[in-house]
Amino acid sequence: MTGIEPKLFATDEEVKKQLEVSKKPKSNRRKHDLNDAQIDALHMALIKEKYIAQDTTIEQFKEPFNSEVTKMATKIQWLADTRLLVYCLDSIFVKKGWPKELECKEAFPNNNGEVLTAQNIYTSLSQMSKSGFPRGSDKIDTIIDKIRKQNA
């Protein structure tokens, strides 16, 4: 089934157009549920709480959220624990597959300059499921919940 609902007495040309539209890749699908205003607010909150470096521009911060960016020009320095970064990202991204995509973009190096990999992310998620959320996760929850409510 193609998901196309043909009109009654549709012409061959109309059916061809419907098929072409349904086959186009949907590259602009958001893997997160934040709008631009919410991403801006998150950027400011993470700087204020010293989770990311103060010199991180909004343009740099938006790159990991853009599905069309394949490799980031500038990395975003995460200043807190790696597990807390993973917790934050897992709270933001809603579609499966985000760890591998962020690894490819090489978006978030830790304090040692090591880029967060999909393996690091999956290990952190596994640890969280066994031993609980990292210290500071309640602060991340408060930031994200406030941003989602404020700028919805």
Is 144 inside any structural domain?
Answer: yes
Domain that holds residue 40: 36-150
Is 49 inside any structural domain?
Answer: yes
Is 104 inside any structural domain?
Answer: yes
Using pLDDT thresholds of 50, 70 and 90, give the confidence band for residue 23. very low
pLDDT of residue 49: 95
* Whole-number percent of the chain with pLDDT over 70: 70
Rounded to two decimals, the pTM is: 0.70
pLDDT 10s digits, 91-133? 887 666 677 777 767 788 777 777 888 888 888 888 888 888 8
- The whole-number average pLDDT for the span 64-90 is 82
Using pLDDT thresholds of 50, 70 and 90, give the confidence band for residue 29. very low
Is 12 inside any structural domain?
Answer: no
Domain count across the chain: 1
Q: Can you say how many angstroms the Cα of residue 16 is from the centroid of all Cα atoms in its chain?
A: 35
Under 8 Å between Cβ of 57 and 45: no
